[in-house]
């Protein structure tokens, strides 16, 4: 599981030059029938590198194609190979492009296990002449029984699936239980190949592999050192030895080639990849059994937690409260995921829904630590999941969520989700024509823009490459990931509040044009004033989107009240998230509730809405740039 092996450990996969270098040695190992060459993470990561993912995939897949090893990709049905739903014509184009680039097998999964989402991808994949492998997103709950999965596999095979995959993305499938699922599928469909995919984190995987192999599974997914185990996959050598001892016919491993690949992986990590790998991802953790969070997202989760912890500790320190370490925050997160999962309808915790549930858990934990309540911030992507716009939830929503949806004016949707995301290739062709960008061989450049609009534009402009190099240089200088430098000074950079500062108000009532607001108060420590005379910034309480700071401006001759719209969390700032959206600009008249922009954080877009009427005087951050919690995004007048 080459792509997944890296992504389950950290943020990136090797560059194309490294992939081309290692491919012949992987082939010489002589033990692989399939290589997972690409998927959503692979292509977006190439764009973030400033590389062309089309060139990367063609060059990477070619030696495997020539050696007769099948190249497999992972796709997310309605979401294609990204986090958000994809227009139908873009989904239809994808397997045609991927076949031309060297892909043989498409593993199709839906995080909801919604047959309607999967069957379209089966049809598009088979139209392109590729093997359609339908995946069962494995999770463990009172709803997800042995019969549930056997029946789902039966329906998908009737829909045209050539193969079935048990995608045990969190590794929480119980071994005997998984064996019964495979046995049940094989009883009905003995000729259908079954592939088993598991992450090793919770500790079940080796026993599970033995059980599914005995029940009839033909393919087993593995990783290899130095990236096996932990949040990744079980190790090739251990699985090979175990199955061989159990009497199975398994290929031998060329150990000279194995050691060469292993050493090359270590070199790649020392080059730059190790700076993005959190050491905790190299460990197994049985706490994952109860939370059910998948190994594939733990790499990005630990990176996200660094930012969450930084922002949270900044707030805790400012308010004179004890700081948290990453372990304490992680335990709180695991507990919150376990608590809210039934409340949000038991979606299998796989991309993107694992991220959605995890993100809500992070936001809930953060708000509750700050003295707030659950569900104060729910991103639009999560609302789409809760209201049926991404598929049918396996379970029922908690009444608390239903009541909150009604208060928010959210409408529930029960028809085929694809109806909400109509064809759009024509719009992307117009954009490419306007920019004089070529569609590329087999329309592959058009496909990249249509599948990853923001990332592709940043790649074309050079902004992506610049941001990646800047981030990498910073990590190399400061230490990061596996090479994180030990702290020599454990003292906080921010001094504890003085006695006078502790007496300053933390909330007040503010009257703006006759309308009264309850606000929280923060103090700027760099304004040069004394502690007792620092000017207060008032931020409106309770908004789900952004803070509103009301000030008497008088700058630039405008006079009157100006309102600062601040970011509710750290992330990347975007004015739009869809091609059809028109970005706001200075001078635009804004009504209460209007969308101003988005903060992309933890792989979801958080909508920034105005709490006031006014006119946009200034947009502070550039589109696509990183912002921190409480940074000013817009100034209204």
SS3 label, residue 537: strand
The CB-based long-range contact list for 184-188 (8 Å cut-off, 24+ gap) reads 184/146, 184/147, 184/149, 184/150, 185/149, 185/150, 185/153, 185/154, 186/215, 186/216, 188/150, 188/153, 188/154, 188/157
Q: Backbone dihedral region of 571: left (phi > 0), alpha (psi from -120 to 50 degrees) or beta?
A: left
Range of lowest pLDDT (317-321, 326-330, 456-460, 556-560): 556-560
Q: Give the bridge partners for 522, in sequence order.
A: 537
Per-residue pLDDT, 538: 34
pLDDT digits (tens, 9 = 90+) for 200-232: 988 999 999 999 999 999 999 999 999 999 989
Q: Could you identify the residue written with the tokens 């600009």?
A: 585
User: What is the C-alpha separation between 285 and 291, in angstroms, rounded?
Assistant: 11
Distance of CA 559 to the CA centre of its chain: 43
User: What is the C-alpha separation between 479 and 473, in angstroms, rounded?
Assistant: 10
DSSP one-letter code for 227: S
Paired tokens of 420: 């909400």
Per-residue pLDDT, 390: 92
CA angle, corner 602, sides to 593 and 599, nearest 5? 30
DSSP one-letter code for 344: B
Paired tokens of 503: 């007496």
Range of lowest pLDDT (129-138, 584-593, 599-608): 599-608
For the chain, what percent of residues have pLDDT higher than 90? 55
Per-residue pLDDT, 294: 58
Whether pLDDT at 185 is above 50:
yes
Return the H-helix or E-strand segment holding 107: strand 105-108
More confident residue, 605 or 471: 471
CA contacts within 13 A on the Cβ side of 453: 20
Distance of CA 463 to the CA centre of its chain: 21
Per-residue pLDDT, 359: 84
Q: What is the mean pLDDT of the chain?
A: 85
Which band of pLDDT confidence, cut at 50, 70 and 90, is reported for residue 489? very low
Give which of 419, 422, 348 is closest to 385, Cα–Cα.
348
DSSP one-letter code for 397: B
Give which of 428, 486, 485 is closest to 457, Cα–Cα.
428
* Per CATH, domain 499-636 is 2.10.60.10: no
Q: Span 163-184, mean pLDDT?
A: 95
Q: Span 129-141, mean pLDDT?
A: 94
CATH class in words for 288-420: mainly alpha
Whether pLDDT at 496 is above 80:
no
Q: Could you identify the residue written with the tokens 């708000």?
A: 367
Q: Give the bridge partners for 517, in sequence order.
A: 510
Q: Output phi, psi for 329, to 5 deg.
A: -65, -40
Q: Give the bridge partners for 362, in sequence order.
A: none
Q: Hey, how many other C-beta atoms are within 10 angstroms of the C-beta on 469?
A: 12
Per-residue pLDDT, 392: 92
Which band of pLDDT confidence, cut at 50, 70 and 90, is reported for residue 499? very low
Per-residue pLDDT, 497: 42
SS3 label, residue 141: coil
Range of lowest pLDDT (160-169, 238-247, 280-289): 280-289
Query: Strand 34-39 relative to strand 219-220: parallel, antiparallel, unpaired?
Result: unpaired
Per-residue pLDDT, 290: 65
DSSP one-letter code for 235: B
pLDDT digits (tens, 9 = 90+) for 409-442: 999 999 999 999 999 999 999 999 999 999 999 9
Per-residue pLDDT, 495: 41
Q: Output phi, psi for 511, to 5 deg.
A: -105, 120
User: What is the C-alpha separation between 63 and 248, in angstroms, rounded?
Assistant: 28
Q: Span 602-631, mean pLDDT?
A: 84
CA angle, corner 389, sides to 384 and 393, nearest 5? 90
More confident residue, 570 or 499: 570
Query: pTM for the whole thing?
Result: 0.76
Whether pLDDT at 533 is above 50:
no
CA distances to 319, 366, 553, 563 from 522, rounded to whole Å, are 9, 18, 18, 16
Which band of pLDDT confidence, cut at 50, 70 and 90, is reported for residue 9? confident
Per-residue pLDDT, 167: 95
Whether pLDDT at 501 is above 50:
no
Domain ranges within the chain, ordered by starting residue: 288-420, 499-636
pLDDT digits (tens, 9 = 90+) for 547-583: 545 444 333 334 457 888 988 777 889 898 776 688 9
- Residue 29 · residue 261 · CB < 8 Å: yes
Contacts of 168 (CB under 8 A, 6+ apart): 138, 178, 196, 197, 198, 199, 205, 208
Q: Does the fold of domain 499-636 match that of domain 288-420?
A: no
Query: Strand 507-512 relative to strand 219-220: parallel, antiparallel, unpaired?
Result: unpaired
For the chain, what percent of residues have pLDDT higher than 70? 84
Return the H-helix or E-strand segment holding 288: helix 288-291
Q: Span 119-145, mean pLDDT?
A: 95
User: What is the C-alpha separation between 243 and 484, in angstroms, rounded?
Assistant: 38
pLDDT digits (tens, 9 = 90+) for 304-324: 667 778 878 888 888 888 888
DSSP one-letter code for 442: G
Whether pLDDT at 517 is above 60:
no
User: What is the C-alpha separation between 389 and 116, in angstroms, rounded?
Assistant: 12
Q: Hey, how many other C-beta atoms are within 10 angstroms of the C-beta on 210?
A: 19
Query: Strand 626-627 relative to strand 604-609: parallel, antiparallel, unpaired?
Result: unpaired
Whether pLDDT at 104 is above 90:
yes
Question: Positive or negative, the Cα torsion across 118, 119, 123, 126?
Answer: positive
User: What is the C-alpha separation between 174 and 46, in angstroms, rounded?
Assistant: 36
DSSP-assigned letters across all residues of 563-582: EEEE-SS-EEEES-SSTTPP
């Amino acid at each position: 599981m080459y792509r997944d092996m890296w992504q389950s450990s950290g943020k990136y996969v090797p560059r194309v030059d490294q992939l081309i270098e290692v491919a012949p040695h992987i082939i010489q190992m002589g033990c692989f029938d399939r290589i997972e060459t690409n998927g959503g993470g692979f292509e977006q990561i190439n764009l973030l590198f400033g590389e062309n993912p089309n060139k990367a995939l063609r060059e990477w897949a070619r030696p495997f194609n020539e050696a007769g090893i099948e190249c497999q990709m992972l796709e997310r049905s309605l979401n294609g190979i990204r986090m958000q739903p994809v227009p139908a014509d873009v989904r239809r184009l994808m397997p045609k492009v991927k076949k031309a680039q060297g892909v043989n097998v498409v593993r199709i999964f839906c995080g909801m296990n919604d047959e309607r989402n999967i069957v379209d991808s089966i049809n598009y994949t088979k139209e392109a002449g590729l093997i359609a492998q339908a995946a069962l997103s494995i999770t463990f709950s009172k709803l997800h029984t042995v019969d549930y999965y056997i029946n789902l596999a039966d329906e998908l095979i009737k829909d045209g699936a050539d193969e079935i995959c048990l995608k045990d993305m969190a590794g929480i499938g119980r071994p005997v239980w998984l064996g019964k699922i495979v046995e049940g599928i094989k009883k009905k469909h003995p000729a259908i190949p079954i592939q088993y995919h598991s992450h090793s984190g919770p500790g079940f995987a080796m026993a599970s592999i033995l059980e599914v192999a005995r029940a009839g599974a033909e393919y087993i997914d593995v990783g290899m050192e130095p990236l096996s185990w932990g949040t990744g996959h079980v190790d090739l050598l251990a699985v090979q030895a175990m199955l061989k001892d159990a009497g199975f016919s398994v290929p031998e491993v060329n150990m000279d080639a194995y050691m060469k690949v292993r050493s090359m992986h270590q070199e790649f990590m020392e080059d730059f990849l190790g700076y993005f790998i959190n050491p905790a991802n190299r460990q197994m953790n049985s706490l994952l059994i109860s939370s059910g969070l998948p190994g594939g997202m733990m790499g990005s989760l630990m990176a996200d937690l660094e930012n969450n912890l930084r922002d949270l500790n900044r707030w805790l320190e400012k308010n004179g409260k004890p700081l948290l370490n990453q372990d304490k925050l992680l335990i709180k997160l695991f507990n919150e995921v376990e608590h809210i999962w039934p409340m949000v309808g038991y979606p299998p915790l796989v991309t993107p829904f694992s991220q959605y549930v995890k993100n809500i858990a992070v936001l809930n934990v953060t708000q509750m630590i700050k003295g707030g309540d659950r569900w104060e911030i729910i991103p639009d992507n999560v609302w789409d999941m809760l209201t049926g716009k991404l598929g049918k939830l396996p379970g029922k929503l908690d009444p608390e969520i239903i009541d909150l949806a009604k208060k928010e004016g959210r409408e529930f949707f029960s028809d085929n989700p694809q109806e909400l995301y109509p064809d759009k290739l024509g719009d992307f062709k117009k954009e490419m024509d306007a920019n004089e960008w070529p569609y590329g061989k087999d329309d592959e450049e058009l496909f990249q823009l249509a599948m990853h609009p923001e990332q592709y534009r940043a790649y074309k402009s050079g902004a992506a490459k610049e941001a990646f190099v800047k981030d990498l240089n910073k990590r190399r200088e400061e230490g990061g990931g596996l090479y994180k430098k030990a702290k020599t000074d454990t003292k906080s950079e921010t001094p504890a509040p003085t006695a006078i500062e502790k007496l300053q108000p933390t909330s007040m009532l503010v009257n703006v044009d006759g309308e009264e607001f309850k606000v929280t108060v923060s103090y700027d420590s760099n304004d040069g004033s004394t502690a007792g005379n620092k000017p207060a910034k008032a931020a409106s309480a309770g908004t789900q989107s952004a803070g509103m700071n009301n000030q008497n401006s008088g700058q630039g001759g405008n006079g009157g009240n100006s309102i600062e719209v601040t970011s509710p969390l750290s992330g990347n700032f975007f004015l739009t998230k869809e091609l059809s959206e028109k970005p706001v600009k200075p001078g635009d008249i804004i009504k209460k509730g209007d969308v101003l922009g988005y903060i992309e954080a933890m792989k979801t877009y958080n909508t920034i809405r105005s709490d006031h009427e006014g006119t946009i005087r200034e947009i502070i951050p550039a589109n696509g740039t990183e912002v921190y919690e409480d940074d000013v995004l817009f100034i209204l007048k």
